[in-house]
């Protein structure tokens, strides 16, 4: 079967009371997470374009991290206990994993970042830490003991380490033992420490995209400057200067407003939609989709979106496909809206939306590898 997740409460309640606010343990809320197996995951960590880490350590340390790509020998010399392999953006490389994201439609697609998978032997963990992003930690196999701490920030005491930001003393506020299908939601900043209770402990982390306002401003400025004309500052009707030696607040506000006027609706949309439709790992497109697995697990599927394809639409009739803008005709829009909303499509989904123009567009996107027909 394909991976599934169902919120055990209404999306409205989740967003009003839990999202970005507090941890929530959701027992038995996911299934279909048997694939990929640990060997397949380790195979991904051998690839140059895949981001992976090996963490060793337990209890009070010492902690060690090694960045991938790895070799088979690296895995052969690992100790019996206390290590974890983490592979980032597995959804970009294995489209069948990305299909889990269709169960997060209570949030806009641009807010999703990627799915990281971890594989741990008994005692393995990444140590006590906090993340800056929301995360759904989905237990796929084995058992893990989660210790949950308080909200942390840059001032929280850390263990001395060159590469790792581990918490020095994490008071434990809650503790859960989770098994396959259990899901732990954590908002940004909450301290946590999950230790594998047995071998073959696999956890999927659905992580969210939260662009830094400073990065957004840089993109907005670039986009505004691309379209800016050479208009100069104007101040017709200004009052007589009372203190000509001063740069006044009123003048500063006028100068700022005229500069910010360059960030108009068009510049805003081009910058944000361009940025937010960029996949984290564009190289994922080079990895073939395992159509056989999808066909066997979901026989009604006739088309899938590649896991490394990000598609958004804006309210001006543009599609944004992996950072690139394309104007859509009215004949293409309904199909593209569906392609952007979900990742897996049945014949019934597509039927009413196909016409000569939309079929040609889809053909082009299939040829370029952004989508794939399932035989
Ligand atoms: C893990 O999967 O081992 C760790 C994930 C996390 O703590 O964020
Ligand atoms: Co974490």
Across 312-323, average pLDDT: 97
pLDDT > 90 in the chain, percent: 97
Question: Residue 201: which pLDDT band, with cuts at 50, 70 and 90?
Answer: very high
Question: Residue 297: which pLDDT band, with cuts at 50, 70 and 90?
Answer: very high
pLDDT of amino acid 138: 98
pLDDT of amino acid 120: 98
Q: Is 203 in the pocket of ligand 1 (CB under 6 A)?
A: yes
Question: Residue 375: which pLDDT band, with cuts at 50, 70 and 90?
Answer: confident
Distance from Cα 367 to the centre of ligand 2, integer Å: 38
pLDDT of amino acid 87: 98
Residue nearest (by alpha carbon) to ligand 1 atom 4: 126
Q: Kindly report, residue by residue over 123-176, the tens digit of the pLDDT.
A: 999 999 999 999 999 999 999 999 999 999 999 999 999 899 999 989 999 999
- Fold (CATH) for 4-208: Jelly Rolls (2.60.120)
Question: Residue 227: which pLDDT band, with cuts at 50, 70 and 90?
Answer: confident
Tell me which ligand sits closest to the C-alpha of residue 116: 1
Q: Is 41 in the pocket of ligand 1 (CB under 6 A)?
A: no
Question: b/e map of 289-326 (b: 16 or more CB within 10 Å)?
Answer: bbbeebeebbeebbbbbbbbbbbbbeeeebbbbbeeee
Is it true that 4-208 and 282-373 share their CATH fold?
no
pTM, whole model, 2 decimals?
0.96
Q: Is 53 in the pocket of ligand 1 (CB under 6 A)?
A: no
For residue 200, pLDDT over 90 is answered with yes
Closest CA to 90 of 277, 287, 275, 302: 287
Q: Is 89 left (phi over 0), alpha (psi -120 to 50) or beta?
A: left
For residue 22, pLDDT over 90 is answered with yes
Q: Is 147 in the pocket of ligand 1 (CB under 6 A)?
A: no
How is the chain split into domains, by residue range? Answer: 4-208, 213-233+246-276, 282-373
Domain 282-373, what architecture? 3-Layer(aba) Sandwich (3.40)
């Amino acid at each position: 079967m394909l991976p599934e997740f169902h919120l055990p409460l209404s999306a409205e309640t989740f967003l009003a009371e839990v999202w970005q606010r507090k941890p929530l343990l959701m027992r038995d809320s996911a299934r279909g997470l048997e694939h990929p197996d640990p060997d397949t995951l380790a195979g991904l960590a051998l690839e140059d374009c895949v981001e992976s880490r090996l963490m060793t350590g337990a209890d009070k340390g010492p902690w060690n991290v090694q960045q991938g790509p790895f070799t088979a020998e690296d895995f052969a010399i690992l100790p019996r206990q206390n290590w974890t392999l983490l592979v980032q953006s597995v959804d970009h490389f294995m489209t069948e994993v990305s299909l889990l994201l269709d169960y997060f439609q209570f949030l806009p697609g641009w807010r999703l970042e990627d799915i990281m998978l971890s594989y741990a032997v008994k005692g393995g963990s990444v140590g006590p830490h906090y993340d800056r992003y929301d995360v759904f930690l989905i237990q796929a196999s084995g058992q893990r003991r989660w210790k949950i701490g308080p909200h942390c920030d840059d001032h929280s005491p850390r263990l001395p380490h060159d590469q790792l930001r581990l918490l020095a003393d994490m008071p434990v506020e809650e503790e859960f033992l989770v098994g396959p299908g259990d899901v732990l939601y954590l908002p940004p900043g909450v301290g946590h420490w999950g230790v594998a209770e047995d071998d073959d402990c696999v956890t999927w982390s659905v992580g969210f995209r939260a662009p830094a306002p400073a990065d957004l401003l840089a993109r907005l400025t670039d986009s505004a400057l691309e379209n800016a004309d050479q208009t100069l500052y104007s101040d017709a009707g200004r009052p007589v200067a009372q203190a000509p030696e001063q740069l006044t607040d009123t003048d500063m506000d006028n100068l700022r407003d005229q500069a910010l006027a360059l960030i108009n609706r068009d510049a805003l949309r081009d910058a944000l939609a361009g940025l937010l439709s960029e996949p984290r790992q564009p190289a994922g497109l080079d990895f073939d989709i395992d159509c056989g697995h999808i066909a066997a697990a979901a026989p009604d599927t006739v088309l899938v979106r590649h896991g490394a394809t990000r598609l958004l639409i804006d309210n001006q009739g543009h599609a944004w496909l992996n950072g690139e803008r394309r104007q859509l005709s009215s004949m293409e829009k309904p199909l593209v809206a569906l392609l952007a909303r979900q990742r897996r499509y049945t014949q019934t989904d597509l039927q009413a939306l196909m016409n000569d123009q939309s079929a040609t567009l889809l053909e082009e996107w299939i040829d370029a590898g952004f989508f794939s027909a399932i035989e």
